[in-house]
Amino acid sequence: MSGQVDYYELLEVERTADDARIKSSYRRLAMQYHPDKNGGCKDAEGKFKAISEAYDCLKDPQKRAAYDRFGHAAFQNGGGGGAGPGAGFEGFSDIFETIFGAGFGGGNQRQQARRGADLRYDLEISLEEAYHGKRTSVALDVSAQCEPCSGSGAKPGTSIHTCSQCGGRGQVRAQQGFFVVERTCPACHGAGQVIAEPCASCRGEGRVDRQKTLEVNIPAGVDEGTRIRLSGEGEAGARGAPAGDLYIFIHVKRHPVFQREGTTLFARAPISFTTAALGGSITVPGLDKVDHEIRIPAGIQSGKQLRQRGAGMPVLQGRGNGDMVVQIDVETPTRLSARQKELLEEFRETETGEECPQSTGFFSKLKTMWDEL
């Protein structure tokens, strides 16, 4: 079945799907068809093996490229029969190595146990948490080392034997015309060792799916897209191979007051027109939990920016802070008492035009333009 059905169809993804989409679909299907969850059903076991074979191919960039170009023929030895995904492709690389020398495909040495896959976790935090930093817990489903067999894949109390077919080299030689080609050993699949009695818990894989919780330290000053690497906290490698890494990607929620650009914080502050005219001060609570007094010079206009040094975001893994920039918006009153209106009328009667030079200049320019026309 797995040799005929399209790998993308097996994993229920499009041919253009990225690695994350393919992995997510595989994990979902693997949990659905795992033999332990289906009471030993042969159909489920066959489906599980088929999707595992498809994922083993598509998660590897080289194998996927070969499959996209040649289909299942890319993994057939000499056009007849197959040793599973990777066998034929290993053969292709070995042909090039025989002609051009070692280094193209890994060649004459036993295949190294594959390192576990790296994982990504997206963590959303508030701007306040980005400012102060925090320590938090994350829970994720991951392939971890099998405890009963300590990751070896062998049943506890049993041993792992050197493959008799390849003598532990992981490669076997075959004559193809004028060439002597080394291919992945079909008996041990390149491992160089054979497990006589697989571990019942992990079925010889050396790893099992489980949920684990990790403590993550978020340093002060992190920004949108900051990546935190946790070494060895990714997928466990097969049969005791090293684990991959976990990458925490930080996403910062939108703040109701502040906008951020690097270490600079921006905020808009409405002030009354009397404060704008006469001057004064306003108080802006910062993310540093300090009330910052901003002095307003007399005659300030809307759009003017006032800078408060050192009240911005911390420098990530550095010293000091950026600045806080407050943009002034002069607010025109909409609800006036009778007395306030009376006072404003008195003020208007005393205006000479010099109080607002910008508006006076604007209308003077308009009048000159129309006179010229």
As a whole number of angstroms, the distance between CA 345 and CA 40 comes to: 91
Report helix, strand or coil for 182.
strand
Please indicate if the annotation marks 57 as binding a ligand: no
Residue 19: phi, psi to the nearest 5? -60, -40
Within 222-279, strands assigned E span: 227-230, 246-252, 259-261, 264-272
Distances (CA, A) of 111 to 186, 198, 212: 12, 20, 30
199 is in an annotated binding site: yes
* Listed residue (63, 65, 68) closest to 89, CA to CA: 63
| Residue 41 is assigned to a ligand binding site | no
Asked whether residue 149 is marked as a ligand-binding residue, the answer is yes
Produce one character per residue of 326-349: b if its CB has 16 or more CB atoms within 10 Å, e if not. bebebeeeeeeeeeeeeeeeeeee
163 is in an annotated binding site: yes
Query: Is residue 362 exposed (0-12), middle (13-18) or buried (19+ Cβ within 10 Å)?
Result: exposed
Q: What span, in angstroms and rounded, lies between the C-alpha atoms of 42 and 8?
A: 22
What is the spatial distance between Cα 37 and Cα 24, in angstroms, rounded to a whole number?
19
Is 166 annotated to bind a ligand? Reply is: yes
Binding site: residue ranges? 146, 149, 163, 166, 185, 188, 199, 202
Binding site for Zn(2+): residue ranges? 146, 149, 163, 166, 185, 188, 199, 202
